[in-house]
A = this chain, B = another copy of it.
Amino acid sequence: MTKGRLEAFSDGVLAIVITIMVLELKVPHGSDLHALRPMVPVFLSYVLSFVYVGIYWTNHHHLFHATGEVDGSVLWANLALLFCLSLVPVVTAWVGDNPRAPWPAALYGVVLLLCGLAWWVLERAILARAGPRSELARALGGKRKEKLALVAYGFGIALAFVHPWVSELVYAGVALTWIVPDRRIEHALRTR
């Protein structure tokens, strides 16, 4: 089975997820600069979530670029990832409306954690087809970065109850480590 439509469908869902968040940036009622002030936290949470969905799109692009065929389990692992990512706009809006409350910051981390786990499952489903000795398996290696991110999300969730801003900084920090697309795959492809 070819991967073309899986990529097209994922591109569609990710494009919508990344764009409907902008619907939360509701037009201010006033017409002067002060009217924009309540939008600042909503805007910042939009930026962070845009970067996260962008990271997933970039890595998705890399991962499937290095993948040949797909089967039913990859289709469903991919749908599970898209489901988790579709929850990002909801928690983004909640954090944007309540930037100083612990629960929204914690739930944002829970959704990031779910996305990270779904990504892990998707990688495993693809590797199960490619085999443990495939180029892709060697390229992905020990997955240290994935493990670190999951641990950091856990810390972020806990820190939300100490201070929400701290946990949001943790999430932003993890995003920074991922902005560079998955060099391992890119490197492996180049050396081929």
Residue numbers of A with Cβ under 8 A of B are 1-2, 5-9, 11-20, 22-25, 27-28, 31-33, 35-36, 47, 50, 54, 57-58, 61-62, 65, 71-72, 75-76, 79, 82-83, 86-87, 89-90, 93-94, 97-98, 101, 103-104, 107, 179-181, 183, 186, 189
Contacts and interface: CB of A to CB of B under 8 A. Distances in A.
B186 A72 contact: yes
Nearest to A94: B27
Given A31-B104, A65-B2, A19 B22 contact: no
B25 A65 contact: no
A182 to B, nearest CB: 9
A31 to B, nearest CB: 3
Given A32-B101, A93-B27, A5 B1 contact: no
Nearest to A180: B72
Given A11-B8, A27-B90, A22 B20 contact: yes
Contacts of A189: 1
B22 A181 contact: no
A33 B107 CA distance: 9
